Amino acid sequence: MAERVELLEAALDSRPDGIALFGKDDAVVFWNRAAEAITGYAAAEVLAQTIPDPLAPLLENTALQEALPQGPQPRRGMLVRAKHKFGHCFDAIARRVLLRDALGERIGTAVVFHPAASLEALPHGEMPEGERLEENQADFEERLQEEFEDSEQGGAPFGVLWINVDQAHELHRTHGVAACYAMLTKVRYALAQGMRPVDEIGRWGADEFLIVAHERSDEMLAAHGQSLAGLARTADFRWWGDRVSLTVSIGVAQFRNGSGETLAQLLERARQAMQTSAAMGGNRVTASAPIVSAQGALTQDENGCGEPNESRAAAGGE
């Protein structure tokens, strides 16, 4: 039994999320290394005690789940603000799960949390002032992080497709917000027809979508992008009798395990590949050159901004 407990603690300690386990009396019974790093409180300072007052929002204000999530759905969390041991405040995405025994009796609580700043650091598409993405954007970003971390640890292959709707800006200017929103809805529906069951899609900017895919190679990811571009072209969008022909500019980037590349760098590669497609007239898929090692993974310009050292563009076809 002691060996099993040690194995469980080692597994929880290896997680990048902060994990705290509480008994029936809400006293801390486990506090992993990530929790120490995020909050500043060492395990020895909190074990067998109630959570320190500055950290109370992590336990009291989090999204409560009656059971562990089932299947591939995103694990929802809530944005909370707590105070670090050294006095500064920090935002975290946290979720709380009631732990029950075989008879359904509550035996404790688990809280899982990570800094919200890790989500905000990811590159996004631009949004007009005053506009917001869907309410479940935090869920999509959290799932994106989890899928990437799983691939880093030897899980399923991981790649992203950054998709910009070529006609969105002009339609917004000539027909207004309602027309643009209706067009984006039509494009999203068209893209969904070609997505794999394990793909996930989310809004990533005013005119942009991001798709998480699990193709096994750069070539297969690019081919997937070509298929989606073709589906977007077949979308029949009409507004007050006017038919608008739709095309998309797509940038794809595949993660290579062991490359040392971060999720933010991967997304930046996909964005720059998408911008290459758009600059070449749209209706194209551009595959970013793969990262092969942590050294020289991105060439840096004078401002420290990463740029792919090579891209491959292919016309979408008429």
Task: Give Cα separations from 260 to 4, 209, 241 (angstroms).
Answer: 32, 25, 51
For tokens 């070449």, name the residue: 280
Nearest to 99 by CA among 26, 13, 2: 26
Given 56, 89, 118, the domain boundary residue is 118
Residues 173 and 260 grouped into a single domain: yes
Highest mean pLDDT range out of 31-35, 90-94, 312-316? Answer: 31-35
CB 67 within 8 A of CB 82: no
Residues 158 and 196 grouped into a single domain: yes
**pLDDT at position 184 over 50:** yes
Q: Which two tokens stand for residue 149?
A: 């971390």
Given 88, 118, 148, the domain boundary residue is 118
Which residue has better confidence, 79 or 207? Answer: 207
Q: What is the pTM of this model?
A: 0.61
**pLDDT at position 257 over 50:** yes
Report the alpha-carbon distance of residue 203 to residue 140 in Å, rounded.
Answer: 9
Strand partners, 98: 109
* pLDDT digits 0-9 by tens, 218-237: 999 999 999 999 999 988 88
Residues 98 and 133 grouped into a single domain: no
CB 285 within 8 A of CB 252: yes
For tokens 């399923």, name the residue: 156
Given 86, 118, 150, the domain boundary residue is 118
Report the alpha-carbon distance of residue 263 to residue 218 in Å, rounded.
Answer: 16
| Predicted local distance difference test score (pLDDT) of residue 303 | 33
| Predicted local distance difference test score (pLDDT) of residue 278 | 93
User: DSSP assignment of 155-203, as one string?
Assistant: -S--EEEEEEETTHHHHHHHH-HHHHHHHHHHHHHHHHTT--TT-EEEE
CB 271 within 8 A of CB 305: no
**Using 50, 70 and 90 to split pLDDT, how confident is the model at 317?**
very low
* Residue ranges making up the domain that contains 53: 2-118
* Residues of the chain above pLDDT 90, percent: 42
Averaged pLDDT, 192-201: 93
CB 55 within 8 A of CB 41: yes
Q: What is the CATH number of the domain that holds 91?
A: 3.30.450.20
* pLDDT digits 0-9 by tens, 56-71: 988 886 655 544 444 3
Nearest to 203 by CA among 256, 290, 144: 144
Report the alpha-carbon distance of residue 272 to residue 275 in Å, rounded.
Answer: 5
User: DSSP assignment of 107-163, as one string?
Assistant: EEEEEEEEETHHHHTS------TT----TTHHHHHHHHHHHHHHHHTT-S--EEEEE
Total domains in the fold of the chain: 2
Which residue has better confidence, 41 or 132? Answer: 41
Q: What is the CATH number of the domain that holds 284?
A: 3.30.70.270
* pLDDT digits 0-9 by tens, 10-50: 889 888 889 999 999 999 999 999 999 999 999 999 999 99
Q: Please, what is the angle between helix 168-175 and helix 177-192, to 10°?
A: 150
Residues 114 and 125 grouped into a single domain: no
